[in-house]
Chain A
Amino acid sequence: MFDFEKIDKVIHEKARLGIMTLLATRASWSFQDLKAQLEMSDGNLVTHLRTLHDHGYVAVTKEIIDRPQTSYSLTTKGRGAFQEYLTILEQIIKAGRP
């Protein structure tokens, strides 16, 4: 029997899963690019990014390239947690097969 308590509740939320997925595809993402890709409002995106940052999954970089810009990237802990989350999803699917 699969232990469902293993699943990471921080990542297992639609918006945060989207953010983690995008961050896993590139070295870093600007706030505007994340917002455009995920079609989320400023407030919603900021809240979820803050949650992920508070759990140590996401690093924030503020720099000035032509204009002030905030970019986000996965930390080593975040990348590990995302990989583990994917593994658990696969296990759930396998456990659900007859």
Chain B
Amino acid sequence: MPTSTQAEENLRVIRSLMEKATIYRAISAPAALLGGTLAVAVAAAAWWLGGRAAPTGELPFVAPWLVVLAVTSAVNLWLLRRNAHRRGEPFASPGMRLALRAMLPALLAGGLCTTISAHCGWPLIASLWVLFYGVSLLAASHFAPRSLCWLGRVFFLAGSILLVLLAFRADAPPPIYPAVMAHLIMGATFGIFHLVYAACTWPRRIGGGA
């Protein structure tokens, strides 16, 4: 005979399972692996080219990262579409719409900061991108898996620390060329953090089929 306490416990289980079922993973592990690898590669190339172009130190910054963003986003969307199809869900599922609504404002704000702060130097822009990307991930934390919440926290923390360091060192001469430093910031954050995320969330097969 179920008691009131048991009934409450059952309702709690139902609620918890329903919440788990509506969790939406906006970044798939393979896309994070691709994005992380590309980011590290671009940063490594910038480091190498920066050394070669020592007299000027002028390297393109925004364009290569827009290419990385476009390639990674396209692959991520394709993977999300494939997973939605496998689950018999529409591509623009309620989870995806919820994630977009939560994440877009911070992502757009980061993009807007690029245009207004271009004269402030590439390291500042890279730090703002890191910070706003963290904010966008945290905005989706109510329905995101724990791993994505952690990724958001790490990006937010890294972005905050970078901004503080840049503020403290504003008057000091930069140790390396600003564009190279900005590329290294991107590689260390978007590259390494996404590679760690991919390693932690890579889908693992559990036992056999039905």
Contacts and interface: CB of A to CB of B under 8 A. Distances in A.
Interface of A: 4, 7, 12, 14, 17-18, 21-22, 24-33, 35-37, 41-42, 45-46, 65, 68, 70-71, 86, 89-90, 92-93, 95-97
A47 to B, nearest CB: 12
Contacts, number: 80
Nearest to B210: A31
Interface string B121-160: 0000000000000000000000000000000000000000
A26 B88 CA distance: 9
A7 B21 contact: no
Interface string B85-97: 1111100000000
Contacts of B18: 21, 24-25
Nearest to A34: B210
Interface of B: 1-5, 7-8, 10-11, 13-14, 17-18, 20-22, 85-89, 206-210
Contacts of A4: 1-2
B30 to A, nearest CB: 16
A40 B89 CA distance: 23
A31 to B, nearest CB: 4
8 contacts: A12-B2, A25-B17, A27-B88, A29-B87, A65-B85, A65-B86, A92-B2, A96-B4
Contact of B14 (A27, A35, A36, A86): A86
Contacts of B209: 31-32, 42, 68, 70
Contacts of B1: 4
A71 to B, nearest CB: 7
A71 B210 CA distance: 10
A12 B86 CA distance: 30
B62 to A, nearest CB: 39
